[in-house]
Amino acid sequence: MSTIDKIIEEINSLRPIPKVAHRVLAIVDDPNSSASDLAEVVMYDQSLTANVLRICNSPFYALPRKIDSIDQAVAYLGMGKIAEMVLMKMGADYLKAEHKGYDLREGDLWMHAVSSAVIAKEICELKKVRNQQLIFTAALLKDIGKVILHRYVGEMFDQIFTLVEKEQVTFREAEKKVIGIDHAELGARVAKKWQFSAKMVHIIGNHHLNGSWSEEDIETAIVYLADTICMMMGLGVGCDGLAYRFHNKVVRTLQISDVDIQGIMAGFGQRLYEVEELMGMC
Cα–Cα distance list, 164 to 5, 91, 99, 101, 242 (Å): 25, 30, 20, 16, 11
- 229 three-state secondary structure: helix
The pLDDT value recorded for residue 150 is 95
d(CA 257, CA 255): 7
Which domain, by its residues, includes 191? 3-280
d(CA 20, CA 48): 9
Cα–Cα distance list, 190 to 22, 194, 208 (Å): 15, 6, 17
165: CATH: 1.10.3210.10
Domain count, the chain: 1
The pLDDT value recorded for residue 5 is 86
- What letter does residue 242 receive in the DSSP assignment? T
The pLDDT value recorded for residue 48 is 87
Cα–Cα distance list, 92 to 86, 88, 110, 279 (Å): 10, 6, 7, 8
Residues in the chain with pLDDT < 70? Answer: 1, 211-212, 281
* Residue 120 near residue 139, CB atoms below 8 Å: yes
Taking residue 170's Cβ as centre, other Cβ atoms within 10 Å add up to: 17
* Residue 24 near residue 38, CB atoms below 8 Å: yes
The pLDDT value recorded for residue 196 is 92
Percentage of the chain exceeding pLDDT 90: 56
Threshold 0.85, pTM exceeds: yes
The pLDDT value recorded for residue 211 is 67
